[in-house]
A = this chain, B = another copy of it.
Amino acid sequence: MKLPDKTTTIEAAIARIKDGDSVMVGGFGVPGTPMTLIRALVDHGARDLTLIKNDANEPDMGIDHLLQSGQVTRLITTHLGLNAHAIALMNAGKLDVEFNAQGILAERIRAGGAGLGAVLSDIGIGTELAQGKQVVDLAGKPHLVETALRADVALIHAERADTFGNLAYTGTAQNFNPLMAMAADCVIAEVETLLPLGALTAGEVQTVGVFVDHVAELETLSEEYAVVQR
């Protein structure tokens, strides 16, 4: 037996995305944001997208390109504080934004990836974020039903991968990537280094290849991946 090969190119992978798709995008700030897949999605041009991402990056970086190109209708996120452009679009009614508590967004995505229907949590009870949510009593205490989130596509950035799609991350670039890599029907990973089977040891794997559909090695790392000069 031999593990199947899932390698492809950035363009071939992104070509699978359709108008109206929901797309999860890894990253928290620059680390872990799949900058090259995002650029390819801009070039691809699919519209009416729902993005699910922790933050909106900064102006002229990461998913801000998709916001600027008008491809995004809806954004499910936790914080837009570093992207005034995203906030302006939201305030102008041109971008529908759903805010989640950060750890709850993580759990909703993980629940989707784990084939669960929802998690029950007391986070945000009595705040704006509880509005409209189903409430379930557990041992007399109210809990919010935080429904599982899945997407049509997940765009993932990893440091290393093998040809089966086993992934390993570095530093704080994990963030939402391992969770989103479980939670989409089509999981696409861009990777800095693609290794032959066996070069990533069984103990090093952080996202199991079973969850990953397509792996594409990056030819270069653009300036967007670099340390931000502020």
Contact = CB atoms under 8 A, between A and B. Distances in A.
A107 B117 contact: no
A134 B143 CA distance: 14
B117 A116 contact: no
Each complex incorporates copies of this chain amounting to 2
Interface residues of A, number: 24
Contact of A118 (B114, B115, B119): B119
Contact of A107 (B116, B121, B141, B147): B116
A200 to B, nearest CB: 12
Contacts of A122: 117
A120 B107 contact: no
A192 to B, nearest CB: 14
B145 A117 contact: no
A144 to B, nearest CB: 9
A172 to B, nearest CB: 10
A138 interface: yes
